[in-house]
Amino acid sequence: MAVLEGDPAINLAEVEARALGRLTPLARDYYASGATDEITLRWNREAYARIAVRPRALVDVSARDLSTTILGRRHPWSVIVAPTAFQRLAHPDGEAAVARAAAAAGVTMTLSTLASTSIEDVAAAAPGAPRWFQLYVFRDRALTAALVARAEAAGYEAIVLTVDAPLLGRRERDARNRFALPEGMTAANLADALARVSSDGRDSGLFQFFASQIDPGFTWADLATLCSSTRLPVLVKGVLRADDATRAIEAGARGVIVSNHGGRQLDTAIASIDALPEVVEAVAGRAPVLVDGGIRRGTDILKALALGADAVLLGRPILWGLVDGEAGVRHVLQLLHAEFDLAMALAGCASRAAVTRDLVVWPRG
């Protein structure tokens, strides 16, 4: 088993600070940056500070059940690893290390289309572990279909369709750094497509290719077609409005993820947690609703659940832990699990069912 060296961090803020000091400037800014003025990036964190908890007293919390069920699978607690690109920038083992750490914690991992390790290799790194695949829709629908087919064949349990990136947001730190992947690293799941582009004699730069291939014409009708073309449930990621949540479910989506892409797409977009309640109301129990963006404490998970989320997705903290490889990711998950368990007990909640809307005051201030 991988073991952390030295004095371990005691919270996710310490994990982040240590990671930022060790990553290359290029990798640090790629992971940490938001779009343009990074206002939404800040709002994602600040919004949780405006939500107050009203704990219940004299509840028997001597035994606590943190588990929840999503899409028919029991999860030991309400956390899923979010899709993040190019994890080998943080550690040579990259996505494989995250897969092993998530499996050890019983946590579902979501693999990015832009992973630096392939769909198949990640599946082989943690056989039998639950995992989802995040999908971008490309102009080349055959490429999109091939990615879905590979995920199905490799045992992934759901498709997470990102819908908030018809074009790529402008991240000025990356522009200033002239971000490019190091020699020997690429988008492993797109390797064949990149090779075809290169053989045609055209610009084979990864980001130019990716930006040119994202389909800005993808519509609700196309979503319905995608949902009907795969045996896997499709969750729509990037929903911030009640009407969009309703249309996603009507088109066949089996879940909705309230997300602003970690503040990396449209700056000044609403904080994810602020958008959550109206999406939950619109979905009205027809499908699971998840949320990402700004989760850093166990109390953040508690607040998200109280506002109606079935689970949260954890993104950047996984990357900060990954700087220490598999052991670092395990440590991040252990820290957050312990904080969530304590928050549940101190709030007077012995199970997920006890985390109800009256537990929080929102918005505050």
- Domain assignment present for residue 230? The answer is yes
Which among 331, 247, 341 is positioned nearest to 301, based on CA atoms?
A: 341
- Domain assignment present for residue 296? The answer is yes
- Provide the domain count of the chain: 1
Q: Which secondary structure element, helix H or strand E, spans residue 300, and what is its range?
A: helix 298-306
Q: What is the pLDDT of residues 132-152, one digit of tens each?
A: 999 999 999 999 999 999 999
pLDDT band with cut points at 50, 70 and 90 for residue 364: low
Q: What is the pLDDT of residues 84-121, one digit of tens each?
A: 999 999 999 999 999 999 999 999 999 999 999 999 99
pLDDT value at residue 208: 74
Q: The tokens 């289309």 sit on which residue? A: 113
pLDDT value at residue 23: 97
Q: In this structure, are strands 311-314 and 360-361 parallel, antiparallel, or unpaired?
A: unpaired
Q: What is the pLDDT of residues 178-223, one digit of tens each?
A: 888 998 898 999 988 776 655 443 334 567 778 788 999 999 999 9
- Domain assignment present for residue 99? The answer is yes
Catalytic-labelled residue, pool 91, 261, 331, 337: 261
Spatial distance between the Cα atoms of 122 and 276, rounded to a whole number of angstroms? 31
Q: Residue 304's domain spans which residues?
A: 12-361
- Domain assignment present for residue 4? The answer is no
- Domain assignment present for residue 304? The answer is yes
In this model, does residue 1 exceed pLDDT 60?
no
- Domain assignment present for residue 7? The answer is no
261 catalytic, yes or no?
yes
What is the identity of the amino acid at 352? Answer: R
3-state DSSP assignment of residue 138: strand
pLDDT value at residue 197: 56
CATH of the domain at 163: 3.20.20.70
In this model, does residue 270 exceed pLDDT 90?
yes
In this model, does residue 173 exceed pLDDT 70?
yes
pLDDT band with cut points at 50, 70 and 90 for residue 244: very high
- Domain assignment present for residue 128? The answer is yes
Give the chain's mean pLDDT. 94
- Domain assignment present for residue 2? The answer is no
CB neighbour burial string for 306-327, b if at least 16 within 10 angstroms, e if fewer: bbbbbbbbbbbbbbbbbbbbbb
Spatial distance between the Cα atoms of 184 and 162, rounded to a whole number of angstroms? 27
pTM of the shown model: 0.95
C-beta of residue 48 within 8 angstroms of C-beta of residue 365:
no
pLDDT value at residue 204: 41
In this model, does residue 339 exceed pLDDT 70?
yes
